[in-house]
Structure 1
Amino acid sequence: MSRSIGDSKLLEKTIPRSAKWSNVRGRVDTGASMSKHLAKVEDIQNNFRIQKGELFKRLKLSTFAALVLEVDKVNMMNESEENDDDVEDDIVERVETTPRQSKFLDVIRGTGELNMREQNKNLELPPKPKLPKEQTPYSQSPYLLVDVRDSDAYEQCHMITAESYPSTNFSRTMNPFSHQMLQFKNMEGHIIILYDTDELIATECATTMAQRGFENVFVLSGGLRVLAQKLPNGLITGSLPAEAFHSFDGKSKLKSGRVKYNPKNKIPADMNLKRFTHDHLGVLSDSLDNLLLAPSDAGSRLSKSKIDTRSRSRASMLTTTSSNSNIKPWK
């Protein structure tokens, strides 16, 4: 009777895991579990410098990417309406200045009299060349993106629509903030977003701004480090720095990542690029959908259907203009 059939400690044995399939995750969302919680805690410890008692707020990279797509959509609809109004004004001006009126004015002034209006037209300076659309900033934007790294790092790589303002300026006694920051300070429906490589500098600058009365300052969680892992394409111009592919200690490389650092393929940032192009928006939209559809973030069929409907509605809104385009959805 004391004997037992088989191994009595069979249930205590752990199932061996293969390193080849260690990164594979299930497609069905089974709810909360200890493994998911530990994976989230490990991700926070590796990528974020979250501390208790922070005076500023944080903004997720996926939320900022969705905001970028929404801002570009609204500006595109407003600019299309402005172009239609300009065409109507040109038609009205052509109708008002008919050949009969010009001949009648010539008769009143007398034959051979110098037409001062034509002389003034000849003396006018030639119009300035119109800049391409990519080199003009958005007319309406609810956010101010600030790069607090040094100017050399900004010229090598930065996020599109970001303004360079090195962290050394925050320690000045007089005028520590830029004019744009003061314009966005505590403005309703507008936020200020600071970012750097690994949150080491941005958190200090955001704390300084919060202590000086800024209530709408945010820090982009993870900085360029998380961007290199989750959304490396569509948001930046230039090549990501080597620091974005290393851990906080700067010695070990990050295991997970969508792109790998290649020191031979360094491309400087385009300093004339002031807004996102159609190529950037297309790549960003696809990358954002893939990020939200990842098994670690949303593996259930219900969340996948919601994201598919959201992407289809975004595509339909980009092709059609709305009558209420003056309403800002970010408010």
Structure 2
Amino acid sequence: MSAKRSIGDSEILKKRIPQNLKYQHIKTRLDTGNSMTKYLEKIEEIKKNYRYKKDELFKRIKVTTFAQLVLQVASVSEERESGEMTTDELQRLEDNSSVISDTEFLTDRTNGKGSPVNDSKSPIQFIDSERGEECIHTSRSTLQSVISGVGELDLGNQADKKKESLQSSSALDKPYEDCPFLLLDVRDRDSYDQCHVVGAKNYPVAMLSRTMNPFTPEILEYRNAHGKIIILYDEDERIASQAATTMCERGFENLFMLSGGLKVISQKFPQGLTTGSFPVTCLVPPTQMKSALKRTPKDPIVPAEDKWRFSSQDLEMIENHLENMLMSTSTPSRLRMDSRNSKVPSSASSARSQSSTSSHSKPWK
């Protein structure tokens, strides 16, 4: 007799589950550990955003690591500048106090203590002293200023505000003092003027083809210097990898390449790290590139600004993006830890119950 076939279809497990494109972007929040789907997604992301090659001579730095380095450098420079400002202010105060004491000493010696010249005051000074106002140190309206038509304007505070705004705008035009990294944009000048990382300097890859003086004085200053590194980047690692390989072959040991370039920066840090509008190649996948180039852009293209430092708003946006990434990566591990902690009491209680039953069943010796 012929063997009977088993009940059901043998190919049932190979049948593909129908997928709905409407809910394809929705993912589960339950972390089930490592799986083949997660591994394939990671490999696909690496192939899409990065260009890893075997036997790379240069080192790599992640965009998140670079963002943390930027925040540290900005905080250190701010503390250093605030410390210098306080010492300058203290020196000015000491100079002013010494000048005032010298003038008082001279007036005491010429007029004598308790002389009527010392005690006599003008009417304006008498009114100011009665109201508790200092006509010498402030620009508030006294009787004389009201007569002259100044009114209640505080000229001293306005001058201070103007100085602060000028200092803040001038500070963005200067690079950080004693910066531990030198950021180089190896694209052409037009692409650099459209969009670049704040504080980056343009160094086209064609400069490496020069026979005489291919490197700028700043690059030579940072070359293999203790505690300093050089970072190269471009849009998608095509040019930066070639430039990094060439520079490593010429003796650069402290050279790093920013992994992913502007393409990864546009995904993880759309605001804060860069100035200007991102290129279309960084915002649109390669499959949709032709259709995107044909369409007119919705947002106007804004050219990059000439600023060498990150403003307080830029640093705040960088911190927010970093916190969001850390929260997204830490939530699965937290769920895992919570599930483990919930399992521990149950196992402990079961162990206690087993020990209690065994102690009751066995006689005591």
Is the pair's TM-score, using the shorter chain for normalization, greater than 0.5? Answer: yes
Task: For 2:219, give the aligned amino acid.
Answer: M
User: For 1:31 and 1:282, how far apart are their aligned partners in 2?
Assistant: 33
Q: In structure 2, do the counterparts of structure 1 residues 231 and 262 end up closer, same or farther at CA, with 3 Å as the change threshold?
A: farther
Aligned-residue Cα RMSD (Å) equals 3.1
The answer to whether the Cα contact below 8 Å between 2:31 and 2:336 also exists between their aligned partners in 1 is no
Q: In structure 2, do the counterparts of structure 1 residues 247 and 210 end up closer, same or farther at CA, with 3 Å as the change threshold?
A: farther
Query: Which of 223, 226, 230 is the aligned partner of 1:188?
Result: 226
User: For 2:246 and 2:210, how far apart are their aligned partners in 1?
Assistant: 11
Q: In structure 2, do the counterparts of structure 1 residues 298 and 269 end up closer, same or farther at CA, with 3 Å as the change threshold?
A: same
How far apart are residue 247 of structure 1 and its match?
A: 5.0
The answer to whether the Cα contact below 8 Å between 1:246 and 1:253 also exists between their aligned partners in 2 is no
The within-5 A match list for 1:146-225 is: 146-225=184-263
Q: In structure 2, do the counterparts of structure 1 residues 30 and 298 end up closer, same or farther at CA, with 3 Å as the change threshold?
A: farther
Q: In structure 2, do the counterparts of structure 1 residues 238 and 303 end up closer, same or farther at CA, with 3 Å as the change threshold?
A: farther
Task: For 1:137, give the aligned amino acid.
Answer: P
Which stretch of structure 1 is more off in the superposition, 24-33 or 167-176? 24-33
Q: In structure 2, do the counterparts of structure 1 residues 264 and 233 end up closer, same or farther at CA, with 3 Å as the change threshold?
A: closer
Q: Which residue of 1 aligns with 2:352?
A: none
User: For 1:149 and 1:170, how far apart are their aligned partners in 2?
Assistant: 12
Q: Are 1:262 and 2:297 matched, yes or no?
A: yes
Task: For 2:251, give the aligned amino acid.
Answer: G
User: For 2:304 and 2:75, how far apart are their aligned partners in 1?
Assistant: 24
How far apart are residue 90 of structure 1 and its match?
A: 0.6
The within-5 A match list for 1:63-102 is: 63-98=65-100, 100=102
How far apart are residue 253 of structure 1 and its match?
A: 7.8
How far apart are residue 203 of structure 1 and its match?
A: 1.0
Q: Would you say how many aligned residue pairs link Structure 1 and Structure 2? A: 276
Q: Which residue of 1 aligns with 2:332?
A: 300
Unaligned runs of 5+ in 2: 110-165, 338-365
The answer to whether the Cα contact below 8 Å between 2:58 and 2:244 also exists between their aligned partners in 1 is yes
How far apart are residue 289 of structure 1 and its match?
A: 2.0
User: For 1:26 and 1:236, how far apart are their aligned partners in 2?
Assistant: 33
Specify the SS of the correspondent of 1:80: helix
Q: Which residue of 2 aligns with 1:289?
A: 323
Specify the SS of the correspondent of 1:293: helix
Give the TM-score normalised by structure 2.
0.67
How far apart are residue 164 of structure 1 and its match?
A: 1.1
Task: For 2:253, give the aligned amino acid.
Answer: E
How far apart are residue 29 of structure 1 and its match?
A: 3.2
Q: Which residue of 2 aligns with 1:25?
A: 27
Q: Which residue of 2 aligns with 1:323?
A: none
Q: In structure 2, do the counterparts of structure 1 residues 267 and 41 end up closer, same or farther at CA, with 3 Å as the change threshold?
A: same
CA deviations 1:164-220 (Å, max 9, x no partner) are 111111111111111111111112221111011111111111111101111011111
CA deviations 1:268-323 (Å, max 9, x no partner) are 1111x1111111111111112223333xx554143999xxxxxxxxxxxxxxxxxx
**Which structure has the highest helix share of the two?**
2
Q: Which residue of 2 aligns with 1:126?
A: none
The answer to whether the Cα contact below 8 Å between 1:147 and 1:165 also exists between their aligned partners in 2 is yes
Identity, in percent, stands at 41
How far apart are residue 5 of structure 1 and its match?
A: 4.4
Q: Which residue of 2 aligns with 1:49?
A: 51
How far apart are residue 57 of structure 1 and its match?
A: 0.6
The answer to whether the Cα contact below 8 Å between 2:281 and 2:289 also exists between their aligned partners in 1 is no
Q: Which residue of 2 aligns with 1:14?
A: 16
The within-5 A match list for 1:234-253 is: 234-247=272-285, 251=289
Task: For 1:158, give the aligned amino acid.
Answer: H
User: For 1:247 and 1:20, how far apart are their aligned partners in 2?
Assistant: 20
Structure with more relative contact order (C-alpha pairs < 8 Å, separation 6 or more) = 1
Q: In structure 2, do the counterparts of structure 1 residues 74 and 33 end up closer, same or farther at CA, with 3 Å as the change threshold?
A: same
